[in-house]
Structure 1
Amino acid sequence: MRICTITVRAGSKGVPGKNLRVVAGRPLFGHSVAQAAATGLFDEVVVSSDSEEILELAPTFGATGVVRRPAEMATDTAGKVPAIAHAVRTTEERTGRHFDTCVDLDATSPLRTLDDIRAAVAMFEDSRAESLITGTEARRNPYFNLVEEQRDGTVAVSKQPDDAVLRRQDAPRCFDMNGSIYVWRRQALLEDQVVFFPSTILYEMPPERSTDVDSEFDFRIVEWLMEQRSDR
């Protein structure tokens, strides 16, 4: 069985009230809920939030359940994974089900497609990985043109390769996490509550579907891109 969570905090420093801000005809978080429901993959689509307004709206976009996020999991410094694990446990207690595959769609990454979700879940379930993340190929490569400051104020390439890398194409491929889709096996999520395991794999997405809303500039990019699409 599969569960999809969408964890949505009421507060946001970068873009105040962003999760309830309307983009392409619905609140930002509503796109992720509707996508999860539309895939037909999930036995439960659950929204976890500390916002009563978000919890009340969630079923209108296809959520089958809601979870009130504890205050200690909704602060600016709280990690997201414990809130996901809490939502899964709470839903299992409510339904009496155990979910083998646990998926989370980030509420601030609405540019993914239904095919992205389906392909990421299929890739994960065909593997022996404990978790899956999504990302897009990085524009800067730490083996070639990403540098970091040293203690003496000089800079150097972030990762020193065994052999000199003269062209970016010769460097190992690196990715920016886009925070769009996360997938775990139930035991790994509930017991360890971390993203990365030795077996973690990545589903690659193109840059045009990889913007995560963390600033007003990001919001404007996402809004423009969504208005151009016919598959939303």
Structure 2
Amino acid sequence: MKIIAVIPARGGSKRIPHKNIRLFAGKPIIAYSIEAAQGSSLFDRVIVSTDDEKIAAVARSFGAEVPFFRPDALADDFCGTNAVVKHCLQWLRQEENYAADIACCIYATAPFLNETYLRQGLDLLLSREKMFAFSVTSYAFPVQRALRIDKDGCVKALYPENIAVRSQDIEPIYHDAAQFYWGTAAAFLYDAVTYSPISIPVILPRYLVQDIDTEEDWQQAELMFHAISRR
């Protein structure tokens, strides 16, 4: 069985310029994803898919492969990561006659990526015979008791029927943790729907999850990282 990691890392990030290679706690943030993939010993190949020479150079310096440069059509603000993995799988088949059986899409901005949960994802994918297994975490507060601010600046309950319900009686709700997405090659190649019954969750603790899209996110992630490191 051939298993690869694909790390999408385009160069055109706008809200945080050069986000994928910006220094995070002393080293390029993409390095954490590469090193976690390598350290897990789960992958035959760790491949970075990028359109950017600087990102490619950094990725190679940490031991990842960059066998191709991603086409422009897959490097804009609207391209999903599953399409990037699909392109990688197709390129390997066409150019190297290399047919991977399983791929794991790992985000380049995932400094909390944990080898234990990576392995758990692969184990779940194989044992449950699903097409995807990906990282999720629970919301810190029940979304069923969310509030909205109306046009007059007043507070209203988004779901008024849940305001009086005890929090312990409310169903836990989860969201994508944006770290990794295991999938069979067929799932990526034939555009299977990730958020569907063919997927199984890998539940991460909230302290290992921080989406990084803004400067505030970045600062919070570094504070979390230093706190965890001190432990």
TM-score (norm 1): 0.86
Q: Distance in 1 between matches of 2:61 and 2:160?
A: 48
In structure 2, the CA distance between the partners of 1:159 and 1:110, relative to structure 1 (3 Å rule), is farther
1:106 equivalent to 2:107? Answer yes
Displacement after TM superposition at 1:18 (Å)? 1.2
Displacement of 1:132 after TM fit? 1.6
Q: How does 1:210-229 map to 2 (within 5 A)?
A: 210-229=209-228
What residue is the counterpart of 1:19 in the other structure?
A: 20
Decide which moves more: 27-36 or 89-98. Answer: 89-98
How far has the Cα of 1:24 moved from its partner?
Answer: 2.4
**What is the count of residue pairs matched by the alignment?**
227
Q: CA deviation at 1:25?
A: 2.6
User: Is 1:53 matched up with 2:54?
Assistant: yes
Match of 1:86 in 2: 87
Q: Distance in 2 between matches of 1:92 and 1:171?
A: 47
For 2:160 and 2:9, locate their aligned partners in 1 and report how far apart those are by CA, in whole Å: 35
Aligned-partner residue type, residue 78 of structure 2: T
Counterparts of 2:69 and 2:128, CA distance in 1: 33
CA distance in 2 between counterparts of 1:86 and 1:23 reads 29
Conserved 8 A contact 1:3-1:43: yes
In the TM superposition, what whole-angstrom CA distance separates every residue of 1:198-229 from its partner, at most 9, and x where no partner exists? 22111111111110211111111222233344
- How many angstroms does 1:45 deviate by? 0.7
Match of 1:104, SS state, is strand
RMSD over aligned Cα atoms: 2.6
Query: Aligned in 2, Cα 1:115/1:216: closer, same or farther, shift over 3 Å?
Result: same
Shift of 1:195: 2.2
Deviates more, 1:115-124 or 1:221-230: 221-230
Deviation at 1:101, TM superposition (A): 1.5
Q: Give the unaligned 5+ runs of structure 2.
A: none
Q: Answer yes or no: is 1:70 the counterpart of 2:71.
A: yes
Whole-Å separation in 2 of the counterparts to 1:81 and 1:193: 9
User: CA offset at residue 115 of structure 1?
Assistant: 1.2
Range that drifts further, 120-129 or 91-100: 91-100
Q: Which runs of 5+ in 1 are unaligned?
A: none
Q: Deviations over 1:139-195 (max 9, x none)?
A: 23343x125689xx995545978xx97222222221121111111111111101542
User: How high is the sequence identity, in percent, across the aligned residues?
Assistant: 26
SS in 2 for 1:67: coil
Is the contact made by 2:21 and 2:58 (CA closer than 8 Å) also made in structure 1?
no
The answer for the alignment partner of 1:189 in structure 2 is 188
Whole-angstrom CA distance in 1 between matches of 2:185 and 2:160: 34
Cα 1:96–1:230, aligned 2, differ >3 Å: closer, same or farther?
Answer: farther
